[in-house]
Structure 1
């Protein structure tokens, strides 16, 4: 039986992550506040940001930028978008 968490992004109970997604206090905070669904969506968005903006993840400025974007994403604030990217529409087709 999987456990649930009150997801910070979706403001409802959803299946929780199985383990902290990163080490330390921040990882524990995410484990307690972010659902599997929200984390997976963030990982997809982060990957697009890294690829399209050609970010170098080993650079401290890039890690800081991604951390800021992650906080905005989970708080439902406006995040940077990929130019030309159009999210898929689920129209029942």
Structure 2
């Protein structure tokens, strides 16, 4: 049986991450409070931001920007969107 967490983004018990996604305090916080579902959604959004905004991941300011956007995304705050992106309709 998988481990569950009370997901900060979805405000419900969902399957948790198998391991912390990054080292340090941020990784522990994500491991304890973010579901696999929310993390997978963030990874997709992060990829879109990197591609659409042409972020250079060697640039510390780009990494800091993504860290800030991750916190906002996972806490249901207003977060940066890619300009001109229209989500697919189902």
Q: Same fold (TM over 0.5)?
A: yes
* Matching residue of 1:8: 8
Distance between the aligned counterparts of 2:28 and 2:75, measured in 1?
Answer: 17
Q: Report whether the alignment pairs 1:24 with 2:24.
A: yes
* Matching residue of 1:33: 33
Deviation sequence 1:8-60 (CA, Å, 0-9, x none): 00000000000000011110110000000000000000000000000001111
* Matching residue of 1:56: 56
Distance between the aligned counterparts of 2:47 and 2:34, measured in 1?
Answer: 18
3-state SS, counterpart of residue 51 of structure 1: helix
| TM-score (structure 2 length as normaliser) | 0.95
Gaps in structure 1 of 5+ consecutive residues:
none
RMSD of aligned alpha carbons = 0.8
| TM-score (structure 1 length as normaliser) | 0.92
Deviation sequence 1:40-86 (CA, Å, 0-9, x none): 00000000000000000111101110011001001111111111212
- How far did 1:89 drift? 3.1
Farther off after superposition, 80-89 or 3-12: 80-89
Gaps in structure 2 of 5+ consecutive residues:
none
Question: After TM superposition, which residue ranges in structure 1, 4 or more long, deviate above 2 angstroms?
Answer: none
